[in-house]
């Protein structure tokens, strides 16, 4: 009998909830559609596939003919469907009850739409924590796939990672398949014959009766969406060459994961550390530790020690994103709080609409940033807040909250005070700034405080070295996105300067110096809270009050206060520098949000936003001077370094007098909006 290696081939397809429709359509045209159509022509090529729930819904709605191919491939046994949380959450980052709910919701959809119940599960971003085992096993999952790097960090030899292993938690067992990093970096970037030769080389006749497996499971977007891959995979025929070569090889045995799992025995017990794929472990580190980690890795590679020492050169864990980015942590803790409120409702009061909002707010993309991830993308964070705010409004209908209360939501040691009346909500940090960290309009389902503070990133070092748009060229094949350095926008030194403070609303200075406020009193029934700052000349009182659809901020001066007062208001407007957002004064459009404007003696201005479906009107009494400009951050993606507008920075200035200064924000829904 000819010795062989089993090829377990799997792909994962995902688009973030809230992604632009044209992006998803382009992904389908350049990747999902040609991939499925190509594989459909080879019924004997067995493989596994996972579509995230939101993407699967989108494709069934817009591309039923292509989904019919997927359904037929499932019916004829060509494919094995893998499960996951419905909205693609990082399971380790959500409560146990929501893990089970997310998994069961998606499994029900797979049975209904494609007639298959999964035995295997895809772990979002391959984030592994043993705490997820009970939820997976309760939902009928028998095995998951994680990187071989996870096993190497547990002390395993790479040569032994050609089968599956078993782990347990709380006496619940789960089997683990190690994805080959060597295959992840070869498919589809190496020429097909070279990739096939490598798979054939994995035949091992000293496996004590075990059938060796070449284990591959990675993003399907590498097959058409990554730079150069559409031409390489489809126009130049890489995928068909690979399929035909695998089918023609006498040494490669194509199997579904479930068939291999049923016919083979475990390689033994293993306990994996908390980790993700190796690149993620770098991305989750702050800049300075990431520099050190990267230097150690490069040093190990230059001395030929990397493969021997890599399991000890670990970066951070995925949850570090919550401690690294306050904005991510705030969203996450707001989500956990609302999840608990939903769980505390009597069963009869819970609705499917509430559950949908909760699960959508748990989608992973907006909570992290690396080469991928969407924390830097305002439209993805906005989707999280849209669902959090809608869920909160629904929960308030069933279990009303106090109009004014305090808690430390984000566990940073500083309490927040919540002011809300069912129409507007202002959440203030009780620190010395007396500023707003979240400002919600419930009718608009929008958080106007959803900005991102610019902080130093590890990849700034590459930009500062003035790296040019040069791909690493191999003798054959194409370069992975991980190997590319390119620029989508021109980036200046100023663009890389970290912000001096969090980008909140109503950050005050007197004569250029920040004011130090202390809370004085609050009116729980009147929706009001008062702060006071002591200055060399006289105290300044700052009052926040919500009434109807309005937030009112009043500055009062007692004694002989004088000088120039400034307040900085950072506003998240959905259209940002797009064509749908504009400044309007006296019914005249001044400019788009992406431009800088200067206005003297401003008494009123309106910010209209088509994407928001509403507007924000500001009234200032007495009139003040306005400087408005866009606020940008610099991020990285598979397409290169880019500048993204996060917010509008409004700075109002006025001369201090005995008259109080009123700044009123009115939130209006457009009559013609949905």
The model carries a pTM of 0.93
Using CB atoms within 10 A of its CB, is residue 128 exposed (0-12), middle (13-18) or buried (19+)?
buried
The pLDDT value recorded for residue 311 is: 87
pLDDT one-digit tens code per residue, 366-407:
999 998 889 999 999 999 999 999 999 999 999 999 999 999
Q: Specify the pLDDT at position 637.
A: 78
57 is catalytic: no
pLDDT of 314: 87
What was the pLDDT predicted at 486? 56
Over range 651-673, report the average pLDDT: 87
Average pLDDT of the residues in 169-180:
96
- The tens digit of pLDDT for each residue in 416-456 reads 999 999 999 999 999 999 999 999 999 999 999 999 999 99
Convert the pLDDT of each residue in 585-598 to its tens digit.
999 999 999 999 99
Q: Average of pLDDT values for 93-98?
A: 98
Q: Which of 125, 264, 440, 568 is catalytic?
A: 125
DSSP assignments along 46-61, one per residue: -EEEEE-HHHHHHHHH
pLDDT at residue number 531: 95
Q: What pLDDT does residue 674 have?
A: 39
Answer whether the bond into residue 188 is a cis peptide, omega within 30°: yes
Q: How confident is the model at residue 481 (pLDDT cuts 50, 70, 90)?
A: very low
Q: Residue 535's pLDDT is what?
A: 86
Give residue limits of the domains in the chain. Answer: 5-274, 319-400, 491-669
Give me the catalytic one of 57, 72, 219, 642. 219
* Residue 194 falls in the annotated catalytic set: no
pLDDT at 468 over 60: no
Mean pLDDT, to the nearest integer, of 327-340?
A: 98
Question: CATH says 5-274 is which class?
Answer: alpha beta
Look over the chain and give the mean of its residue pLDDT values, rounded to a whole number. Answer: 92
Q: pLDDT-derived band of residue 288, with 50, 70 and 90 as boundaries?
A: very high
Q: What is the pLDDT of residue 283?
A: 95
Residue 296 has pLDDT above 50, yes or no: yes
Tell me, what's the pLDDT at 2?
A: 73
Q: How confident is the model at residue 489 (pLDDT cuts 50, 70, 90)?
A: low
Q: What is the CA radius of gyration of the chain?
A: 27
Work out the average pLDDT over 529-557. 93
Dist. CA 434–CA 540, nearest whole Å: 12
The values of phi and psi at residue 389, to 5°, are: -70, -40
With bands split at pLDDT 50, 70 and 90, how would you rate the model's confidence at 491?
A: confident
Quick one: what percent of the chain has pLDDT higher than 90?
Answer: 84
Residue 107 tokens, joined = 């499994």
Instruction: Enumerate the β-bridge partners of residue 599.
Output: 626
Q: What confidence category does residue 521 fall into, taking pLDDT thresholds of 50, 70 and 90?
A: confident
Q: In percent, how much of the chain has pLDDT > 70?
A: 94
Q: What is the mean pLDDT of residues 575-582?
A: 89
Render pLDDT for 249-271 as a digit per residue (tens, 0 to 9).
999 999 999 999 999 999 999 99
How confident is the model at residue 471, as a pLDDT? 39
Q: Which residue has the higher pLDDT, 470 or 519?
A: 519
pLDDT recorded at residue 206: 52
Q: Which residues pair with 614 in a beta bridge?
A: 609, 669
DSSP per position, 95-161: -HHHHHHHHHHHHHHHHHHHS---SEEEPGGG-B-GGGHHHHHHTT--EEEEEHHHHHHTT--GGG-
Q: Which stretches of 143-286 are DSSP H helices?
A: 148-153, 181-186, 192-200, 229-230, 238-248, 257-263, 278-283
pLDDT average, residue stretch 24-28: 97
Distance CA 536, CA 559 (A): 11
Q: What is the pLDDT of residue 493?
A: 86
Beta-strand relationship, 213-219 and 588-592: unpaired
Q: What is the pLDDT of residue 441?
A: 98
Predicted confidence band at 490 (pLDDT cuts at 50, 70, 90)? confident
Distance linking the first and last C-alpha atoms of the chain: 67
Give me the pLDDT at residue 671, please: 58
> Is the CATH code 3.20.20.70 the one for domain 491-669?
no
Min mean pLDDT across 10-19, 36-45, 136-145, 491-500 is at 491-500
642 HSE (CA, 13 A, CB side): 14
Q: What is the mean pLDDT of residues 548-556?
A: 96
Q: Residue 222 has what DSSP assignment? A: G
Please state which of the ranges 53-57, 163-167, 413-417, 635-639 shows the lowest mean pLDDT: 635-639
Mean pLDDT of 502-525: 90
656 contacts 510 by C-beta, under 8 angstroms: yes
Provide the token pair at 343.
């769980």
| 570-604 core/surface letters (b: 16 or more CB in 10 A; e: else) | bbbbbbbbbebbbbbeeeeeeebbbeebebeebee
Assign 331 a pLDDT band (cuts: 50, 70, 90): very high
Which is more confidently placed, 416 or 476? 416
pLDDT band at 177 (very low <50, low <70, confident <90, very high): very high
**Residue 36: its pLDDT value, please?**
98
């Amino acid at each position: 009998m000819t010795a062989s290696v089993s090829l377990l081939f799997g792909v994962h397809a995902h688009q973030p909830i809230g992604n632009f429709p044209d992006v998803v359509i382009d992904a389908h045209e350049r990747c999902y559609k040609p991939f499925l159509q190509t594989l459909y022509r080879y019924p004997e090529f067995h493989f596994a596939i996972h579509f995230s729930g939101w993407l699967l819904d989108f494709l069934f709605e817009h591309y039923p003919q292509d989904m019919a191919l997927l359904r037929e491939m499932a019916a004829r046994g060509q494919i094995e469907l893998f499960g996951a949380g419905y909205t693609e959450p990082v399971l380790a980052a959500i409560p146990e009850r929501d893990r089970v709910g997310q998994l069961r919701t998606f499994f029900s959809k797979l049975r209904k739409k494609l007639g298959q119940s999964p035995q295997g599960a895809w772990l979002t971003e391959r984030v592994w924590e043993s705490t997820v085992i009970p939820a997976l096993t309760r939902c009928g999952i028998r095995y998951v796939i994680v990187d071989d790097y996870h096993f190497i960090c547990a002390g395993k030899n790479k040569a032994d990672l050609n089968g599956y292993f078993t782990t347990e938690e709380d006496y619940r067992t789960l089997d683990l398949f190690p994805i080959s990093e060597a295959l992840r970096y070869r498919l589809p970037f190496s020429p097909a014959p070279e990739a096939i030769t490598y798979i054939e080389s994995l035949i091992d006749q000293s496996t004590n009766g075990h059938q060796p497996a070449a284990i591959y499971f990675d993003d399907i977007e590498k097959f058409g969406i990554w730079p150069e891959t559409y031409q390489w995979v489809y126009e130049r025929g890489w995928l068909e060459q690979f399929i035909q070569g695998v089918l023609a090889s006498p040494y490669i045995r194509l199997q579904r994961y479930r068939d291999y799992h049923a016919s083979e025995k475990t390689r033994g017990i293993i306990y994996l550390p908390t980790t993700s794929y190796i690149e993620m472990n770098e991305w989750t580190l702050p800049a300075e530790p990431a520099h050190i980690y990267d230097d150690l890795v490069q040093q190990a590679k230059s001395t030929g020690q990397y493969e021997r020492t890599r399991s000890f050169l670990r970066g951070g864990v995925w949850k570090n994103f919550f401690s690294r980015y306050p904005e991510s942590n705030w969203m996450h803790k707001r989500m956990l709080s609302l999840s608990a409120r939903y769980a505390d409702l009597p069963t009869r009061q819970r609705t499917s609409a509430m559950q949908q909002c909760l699960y959508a707010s748990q989608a992973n993309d907006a909570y992290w940033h690396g080469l991928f991830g969407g924390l830097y993308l305002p439209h993805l964070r906005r989707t999280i807040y849209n669902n959090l705010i809608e869920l909160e409004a629904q929960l308030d209908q069933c279990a009303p909250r106090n109009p004014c209360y305090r808690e430390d939501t984000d566990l940073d040691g500083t309490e927040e005070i919540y002011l809300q009346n069912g129409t507007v909500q202002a959440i203030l940090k009780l620190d010395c700034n007396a500023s707003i960290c979240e400002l919600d309009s419930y009718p608009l389902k929008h958080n106007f405080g959803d900005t991102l503070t610019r902080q130093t990133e590890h990849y700034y070092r590459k930009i500062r070295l003035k790296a040019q748009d040069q791909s690493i060229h191999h003798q054959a094949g194409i370069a992975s996105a991980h190997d590319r350095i390119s620029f989508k926008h021109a980036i200046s030194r100023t663009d890389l300067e970290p912000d001096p403070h969090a980008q909140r609303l109503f950050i005050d200075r007197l004569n250029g110096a920040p004011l130090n406020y202390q809370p004085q009193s609050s009116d729980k029934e009147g929706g009001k809270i008062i702060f006071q700052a002591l200055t060399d000349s006289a105290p300044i009182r700052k009052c926040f009050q919500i009434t109807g659809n309005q937030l009112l901020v009043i500055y009062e001066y007692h004694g002989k206060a004088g000088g120039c007062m400034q307040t900085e208001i950072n506003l998240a407007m959905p259209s940002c520098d797009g064509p749908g957002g504009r400044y309007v004064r006296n019914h005249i459009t001044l400019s788009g949000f992406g431009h800088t404007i200067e206005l003297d003696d401003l008494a009123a201005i309106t910010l209209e936003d088509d994407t928001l479906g509403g507007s924000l009107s500001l009234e200032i009494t007495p009139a003040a001077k306005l400087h408005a400009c866009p606020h940008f951050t610099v991020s990285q993606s598979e397409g290169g370094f880019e500048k993204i507008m996060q917010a509008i920075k409004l700075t109002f200035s006025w001369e201090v007098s005995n008259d109080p200064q009123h700044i009123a924000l009115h939130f209006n829904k457009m009559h013609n909006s949905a």
